[in-house]
Amino acid sequence: MKQSDSILQHAPLYPFRFEPIYKDYLWGGHRFRELFQRPVPEEMAMAAESWEISDHPHGQSVIRNGMLCGFTLHDILLSQPQKLLGDDYINRNTLPKRFPLILKYLDAAQPLSVQVHPDNVFAKEQPFNDWGKTEAWIVVDAEPDSSVYIGTRQNYSFQEQEQLIRNGHWDLLLNRINVQSGDCFFIPPGTLHALGAGVLVAEIQTSSDITFRMFDWNRCDRDGKRRELKIEEGLRVLRDPGVPVTAQVPVKTEKVPWEQLIIDEEFTMNRWTLAEQLVWYNDHRCHLWTVLDGSLVTSFTAGRRTQIMKNSERETDPDAIEILQRGDSILIPAVCPNLYCIPENNHAVFLDVIPCF
């Protein structure tokens, strides 16, 4: 057995932070640098996406803290799946070939293409070697009068949708929704959607990278060419729109600091708003957190709020505090003990996402 294998199998798991994986697409902007104050690679003029937590072949998250620094999320999944995902998840599922969710940020300086994703049934029938894609957006920052496009303006039949798409009548088809910070949208497979210009969102999705681009606003790429459309594939997975899409209405809970945003068979999503310290009690499930506003200090140990450790100590001590600024993300394995959470300056808003079964 290699030493690295032994470390992976026997190391205690702790809250993991990962190196961001940046994607440079033509619609990207500058808010990872300006709003999140991140050192985005200099060669990347505009960063479109930051994959925060991912185990997809197109983006493998590498741990940046603690004794398992340098290993990937996939390494942890293979070596300690039950401790990572929890007994309930493992007992009700076959072991997934990769971690089931991706958490990312998207910064749209220009509108994204109008696209649609397949469900698991369609994906399995095709030679994609990938999953279907369910996703959700929560708006982190939005310029005045910015919008997203989700679903259709009316309850068109499939035949009416197909006719409008083939004739290029996107202005009649797409449901445009003005947005502001805090809005949340759930996007099932088969739903037409696009981010509008000026919107920064946190996105939670199943671990899939299948996208059928249906319309790209008649623009060209950096080489002056039109990007490829996949209208025929998209029409095969398009679903009847049903009721018009609107922002999710948060469900308040008896536990005042948090509200329920989404409950789905793939994931649940809650939003926490902290104004004072609390103890977060582990429920033996895996959690993904990302800070939407303010900053948050987490620690296994009470009383370490103001103890700012040296970088070398924080990298090797899994009990060290973690200071999460706006846009920072963390994965909490199912076996982690309770966490002390302290909102700096008495304000922190973070998203809490749980893989389901």
Instruction: Decide which of 206, 237, 268 is a domain's last residue.
Output: 237
Per-residue pLDDT of 105-140, as tens digits, reads 999 999 999 999 999 999 988 888 899 999 999 999
Please indicate, yes or no, whether residues 174 and 302 belong to a single structural domain of this protein.
Answer: no
Position 15 in a domain: no
Instruction: Decide which of 215, 237, 259 is a domain's last residue.
Output: 237
Please indicate, yes or no, whether residues 224 and 124 belong to a single structural domain of this protein.
Answer: yes
Contacts made by residues 230-238, CB under 8 angstroms, sequence distance 24+? 231/165, 231/166, 234/115, 234/116, 234/165, 235/162, 235/165, 236/122, 237/116, 237/117, 237/118, 237/119, 237/122, 237/189, 237/190, 237/212, 238/116, 238/158, 238/161, 238/162, 238/190, 238/192
pLDDT band at 267; cut points 50, 70, 90: very high
Per-residue pLDDT of 325-348, as tens digits, reads 999 999 999 999 899 999 999 999
Mean pLDDT of 10-19: 94
Dihedrals phi, psi of 127, to nearest 5 degrees? -85, 45
Query: Burial level of 296, CB count in 10 A (0-12/13-18/19+)?
Result: buried
pLDDT at residue 307 in the model: 43
Please indicate, yes or no, whether residues 222 and 275 belong to a single structural domain of this protein.
Answer: no
| Pairwise CA distance, residues 272 & 343, whole Å | 11
| Pairwise CA distance, residues 42 & 56, whole Å | 25
Please indicate, yes or no, whether residues 227 and 283 belong to a single structural domain of this protein.
Answer: no
Nearest by Cα to 230 from 247, 211, 208: 211
pLDDT at residue 184 in the model: 95
- Classified as helix, coil or strand, 47 is strand
Does residue 168 register a pLDDT over 90? yes
Position 70 in a domain: no
- How many domains would you assign to the chain? 2
Residue pair 133/208 in contact (Cβ under 8 Å)? The answer is: yes
List Cα–Cα distances, 87 to 170, 187, 218, in angstroms.
46, 28, 49
Residue pair 201/141 in contact (Cβ under 8 Å)? The answer is: no
| Pairwise CA distance, residues 246 & 201, whole Å | 16
pLDDT band at 6; cut points 50, 70, 90: confident
* CATH number of the domain where residue 294 is located: 2.60.120.10
- The dihedral through the CA atoms of 314, 315, 318, 321 has a sign that is positive
pLDDT band at 90; cut points 50, 70, 90: confident
Residue pair 90/81 in contact (Cβ under 8 Å)? The answer is: yes
Position 274 in a domain: yes
Q: Which amino acids are annotated catalytic?
A: 213
Between residues 96 and 291, which one has the greater pLDDT? 291
Per-residue pLDDT of 297-330, as tens digits, reads 998 765 444 443 444 444 445 456 899 999 999 9
Please indicate, yes or no, whether residues 308 and 204 belong to a single structural domain of this protein.
Answer: no
Nearest by Cα to 272 from 255, 287, 286: 255
pLDDT at residue 88 in the model: 80
Task: Residue 186: give the domain boundaries.
Answer: 20-60+101-237
Mean pLDDT of 252-276: 88
pLDDT at residue 255 in the model: 63
Nearest by Cα to 175 from 155, 159, 158: 155
The single-letter DSSP state of residue 29 is B
Please indicate, yes or no, whether residues 121 and 177 belong to a single structural domain of this protein.
Answer: yes
Q: Which two tokens stand for residue 34?
A: 């300006």
Does residue 28 register a pLDDT over 90? yes
| Pairwise CA distance, residues 325 & 17, whole Å | 12
* Residues in contact with 290: Cβ distance below 8 Å, sequence separation at least 6, in sequence order: 52, 103, 202, 327, 328, 329, 330, 350, 351
pLDDT at residue 95 in the model: 78
Please indicate, yes or no, whether residues 310 and 164 belong to a single structural domain of this protein.
Answer: no
